[in-house]
Chains A and B, each alone.
Chain A
Amino acid sequence: MSDVEQAVTRVHRAEWARVVAALTRRFGDLDLAEEAAAEAFAIAVERWPADGVPPNPGAWLTTTANRKAIDRIRRENKRDDKHQEARMVYDDTPSEPSGAIDDDRLRLIFTCCHPALATQARVALTLRMVGGLTVPEIARAFLVRESALEQRITRAKAKIKAARIPYRVPSAEDLPARVSGVLTVLFLVFNEGYLATGPGTDPIRQELTAEAIRLTRLIHALLPDDGEVTGLLALMLLIEARRAARVSAGELVALGEQDRGTWDAALIAEGHRLVRERLAAGVAPGRYQILAAINAVHTSARDIRDTDWSQVVALYDQLVRVDASPVVALNRAIAVAELDGPEVALAAVDRLEEQLAGYHAYHATRADLLRRLARSAEARAAYGKAIELAGNTAEIANLTRRRNQLG
């Protein structure tokens, strides 16, 4: 890749959301903003190799995109009232500031993650409008047809327009509830990258985990005092730090068997720093902060045998109080197995059957506990069920080998 191409890629990452957000504020139209921004970047790709990268690429792109948007309005509004056109073109005053924080990109994120949109649409729209991923890139990441994804994004944009979903940061009282929706979207993107589903994909989609981290960093920069945003960023960093150790020869490697020397020390240090920052804040933590703390305990141990399991179980107890879901109970049981033995853990896991019978991790956990209790026949059946339900190729490979190793 040439220097200019690299610069364009870098500027695209850094500036896309800012350009789209500024245009959305000015013209009040997501479609127009997206198309004009895309046009401006296309012109940059064409011109910068000859003219050189401008000294302030972000401003250059915003100006170019603004011009393109105005051209488009002129073309499409020929029959419209000239007065209206003039207002659209020359009214450069920012819309009234509303909500707790006034930043175009933050408004864009809250608009894309509005609870009135379906979750899948929120994910797609956020990756497109805020992340700047192309429709084919998003379609490939989530294994959907491009036409279906395009339709999903188009419908979401149409709903934003027709239902008048405001382009605004929610008010201080609504902010916590709305931030949690944004974090859900980002964590979904991260998880799809971390444990990718489908036979045709890599077991880890690094471009998705990286994108989720990049967007979470952006939210963290915009909302530095939100504990759960900090918690989610720390959580992602501490999981991402273990990426290189997670898959070996196409097979998922369990936490206890990972080569801890390949963990990313810089990401771990940053994650730990964020977790300590939240502990020092002295505010009751939410689920992402507790999950980050659990991962901080795991990443503090040089060897699986040094893991402070009583601390992990205590954190899971805390997590159960804020999120009493069966999946949390399952993960708590995995930690309990290390502290109190597989028999105690199995009893806890078996109580979750009704709720988790369709979840591969339930069967994988049971299989592992049954194997440790030397109940081979039952373990084999549980591995079979887990393999049937699992969607990640590396996880299926690991489960299959374990089943085949049973005596």
Chain B
Amino acid sequence: MQYLVSVIDDKSNPGSTDRQPAISEFNDRLIAEGYWVFAGGLADTDAATVVDHRGEQAVISDGPFVESKEYLAGFWVWDVPDLDVALKLAAEASKVCDRKIEVRPFR
């Protein structure tokens, strides 16, 4: 069962910026234990561009598609047996990243 594990940062109360070594260590463990599928950190929302081609013409606009205090800072894809395993790892991930984590199953 695969889960999208999103790292949620908060513009008004951002997490600490020195987490990379701890995250790398955590990632090594995820790989060793066979849960790792994919992961990526995302650039700031300022770097986002939105493309909308639902109409006649593709419209390209600057900025993220939703202006919110909380935003997606990065994510993992984990392959774990059930939600309890995912939640346990997510609790560690939240501590390691110093940020909130959302766990959401793939359909």
Q: Which of A's residues lie within 8 Å of B, judged by CB?
A: 114-116, 162-166, 168, 170, 174
Contacts and interface: CB of A to CB of B under 8 A. Distances in A.
Given A168-B82, A168-B84, 6 more contacts: A163-B104, A163-B105, A164-B83, A165-B82, A165-B83, A165-B84
A164 B105 contact: yes
Interface residues of B, number: 11
Contacts of B87: 115-116
Interface of chain A: mostly helix, strand, loop or mixed: loop
B1 interface: yes
> When A and B form their complex, which 8 residue pairs have the shortest distance between CB atoms, in order from nearest?
A166-B82, A164-B82, A163-B105, A165-B83, A163-B83, A164-B1, A164-B83, A166-B84
Interface of B: 1, 81-84, 87-88, 103-105, 107
Contacts of A115: 87
Nearest to A99: B84
A169 to B, nearest CB: 11
Contacts of B81: 166
A116 B91 CA distance: 13
Contacts of B88: 174
B26 to A, nearest CB: 20
Nearest to B106: A162
A163 B3 CA distance: 8
26 contacts: A114-B83, A115-B87, A116-B83, A116-B87, A162-B105, A162-B107, A163-B83, A163-B103, A163-B104, A163-B105, A164-B1, A164-B82, A164-B83, A164-B105, A165-B82, A165-B83, A165-B84, A166-B81, A166-B82, A166-B83, A166-B84, A168-B82, A168-B84, A170-B84, A174-B84, A174-B88
A163 B82 CA distance: 8
Max chain A Cβ within 10 angstroms of own Cβ: one of B1, B81, B82, B107: B82
A379 to B, nearest CB: 43
